[in-house]
Structure 1
């Protein structure tokens, strides 16, 4: 199964409601789609969202990396020679994790198709179904409480609450949400780097004192401030999840060696795809530290790959793969089935995607 061509396109999918965090507000998913074509007629699908504020990868950067470096390095190679392909992909250009992730996902799709097995079974086959949380965008306390109640009515039992825009107001937001949903619902919070270390300790301590029962806090401080994140980890009882601070396996190893966080969040757009995400899983297993699998605002192709990884590995115990259920429509044919909080990977070979509707191909 040799690579004959790699096509690049883009899709646009409106969101049901605007997605608001401490870093940005988004109204639609605008993603780059990659199709890897082979001499056997099989196609592998990958996807990358331009998320400049987090990964530094804009649409132009993703397309440029694909056209000028990645495609030239891979066309003509045989999927059977998978390790060599991955070495080439990861060495042909520095950084550009999202572009690499899109191609990596499509390659793993083809790898599963080559051996006629669903990817989650090839990677470990730990479980058949996973349960995701759903994100509540940052708004007024009243709006967030109402959105939380709506999510519970839809069947979600775990909410990930966006905070980090105003520490004092964040406390009021969480009080309003906990009062509205009660204590049978798990609440996670994501500050998206929005607090200083001392500010994070104060607001998290206030949340502890208020009895809000927070499961964990995600990325309370700036991504580069590992010392600050360790300060938070050392001074609050609420567990800390490192997200934007972890792009590479080396990042994960450094954070775990320093005990700077309690958990690691794996996102394929940060790691450059499944190849490096699997290495982070192995590092976490050695340290006995659980992982969460997350996503950016992505449609179903790339989230589908994250689903297969989550279903494969026991070290991934927390799931934040709500991107497709936030979209107003699904352009992807095949792949994992998203039924509110329950996600079931496809048992067809590879990732199970057969088509992506509405692609606008780029020359």
Structure 2
């Protein structure tokens, strides 16, 4: 099975409601899609969202990295040479983790098809379904409470609350939500780098003293402030999850070695795909640290790939893969079924994607 060409396209999928965090507001998923074709007729699918504020990857940058750099180490290669191809993809250029992730998952898709097995089984096969949380965007306390009630009606029992945009309102937001959801509802919060270290400890201590029962806080400080992250972890009564601070296995190792966070978040778009996500999961196993699997605002191809990794590794205990259910439509045929909080993987070979509707092709690389 040799790679003969790569097709690049884009999709646009409106969200049900605008997605608001401490650093951005988004109204639609605008992702780059790739198809890796082979001489035996199989096609592997990959996807990458342009999230310049987080990964630095723009749409043009993703397309350029694939067409000008990454494709050169993939086209003409035999999938049997899988390990070496994966190394070459990661070494093909600096940074560009989202572009690498799109190619990575498409290659895993082909590898699974060659072996006639779903990817999650190749990776370990711990289970074939997951329960995800759902994100409640930053808005007024009243609006966030209504969104939380709606999520509970739809069957969710774990909510990820976006905070950090206005610290003075954050506790009011959480109180409003806690007042309208069942006591058993799990609530985790994501500050998206919105606070400094002392502010984080003050706010988290107050949240704890209010008895709001928060599972953990995700990335309270700036991504590069590892010292500040450790300060918060050491002084916060609420557990801390590192997200934007973890782009690579090396980042994860440093955080684990110095105890800068209680948990780490694996996102394929930050680490460069399943290949590197496995490295982070292995380190977490060694250090006895739980992982979350997360996503950007992505359609089903890349979130489906993340779900395969999560189903394969039992160290991934926290699931934040709600991207597809936030979309108003699903142009991806095949792959995992996202039925509100329950994600069930396809048992078809590879990642199970069959085809993509409404894709706009922009380039063919041979």
The TM tier, using the shorter chain, reads: over 0.9
Q: What per-residue deviation string (whole Å, max 9, x for no partner) do you get for residues 149-180 of structure 1?
A: 00000000000000001112001100111011
Where structure 2 has 5 or more consecutive residues not aligned to the other structure, the ranges are none
Match of 1:35 in 2: 35
In structure 1, C-alpha distance between the alignment counterparts of 2:249 and 2:107, rounded to whole Å:
20
1:96-141 CA-partner distances (Å, limit 9, x unpaired): 0000000000000000000000011110110121100000000000
- 1:186-218 deviation digits (Å, cap 9, x = unpaired): 000000000010111011000000000000000
Match of 1:281 in 2: 281
User: If the length of structure 1 is used for normalisation, what is the TM-score?
Assistant: 0.99
Q: How many pairs were matched up? A: 363
How far off its partner does 1:74 sit?
1.1
Inter-partner Cα distance in structure 2 for 1:72 and 1:129: 36
After superposition, give the CA deviation of every residue in 1:64-98 in whole Å (9 maximum; x if it has no partner).
10111011221000001001101110111011000
State the Cα distance separating 1:35 from its structure 2 match: 0.2
Equivalent-residue separation in structure 2 for 1:338 and 1:34 (angstroms): 22
Gaps of 5+ in 1: none
Partner of 1:225: 225
Displacement of 1:247: 0.4
TM-score under structure 2 length normalisation:
0.99
Query: What is the correspondence of 1:68-87 to structure 2 with a 5 Å cutoff?
Result: 68-87=68-87
Name the residue aligned to 2:339: 339
Q: Which residue of 2 aligns with 1:290?
A: 290
Deviations along 1:12-61, whole A, 9 cap, x unmatched?
00000000000100000000001000000000000000000000000011
Is the Cα contact below 8 Å between 1:55 and 1:269 reproduced in 2? yes
In 2, Cα distance between the equivalents of 1:149 and 1:49?
29
Separation (CA, whole Å) in 1 of partners of 2:277 and 2:119: 14
Instruction: Report the equivalent of 2:214.
Output: 214
Aligned: 1:198 with 2:208: no
Query: Equivalents in 2 of 1:240, 1:87: separation in Å?
Result: 32
Distance in 1, matches of 2:129 and 2:182, equals 26
Cross-structure match for 1:250: 250
Matching of residue 109 in structure 1 with residue 97 in structure 2: no
The match for 1:185 is 185
Q: Who is 2:60 aligned against? A: 60
TM-superposed deviation, 1:305: 0.2
Give, in whole Å, the separation in 2 of the partners of 1:308 and 1:92.
Answer: 25
Q: Name the SS of the counterpart of 1:32 in structure 2.
A: strand
Q: Secondary structure at the match of 2:69?
A: helix
Q: Determine whether 1:49 maps to 2:61.
A: no
Q: Distance in 2 between matches of 1:238 and 1:40?
A: 53
Runs of 4+ with deviation above 3 angstroms: none
Mapped partners of 1:132, 1:241: distance in 2: 16
Which residue of structure 1 lines up, in the alignment, with residue 176 of structure 2? 176
Cα distance, 1:347 vs structure 2: 0.3
Distance 2:65 2:227 in 1: 33
Partner of 2:308: 308
- CA distance in 2 between counterparts of 1:107 and 1:299 reads 18
RMSD: 0.5
Name the SS of the counterpart of 1:246 in structure 2: coil
What is the CA–CA distance in structure 1 between the aligned matches of 2:309 and 2:275, rounded to whole Å? Answer: 10
Q: Distance in 1 between matches of 2:350 and 2:279?
A: 20
1:182 CA displacement: 3.3
Residue 165 of structure 2 is matched in structure 1 by: 165
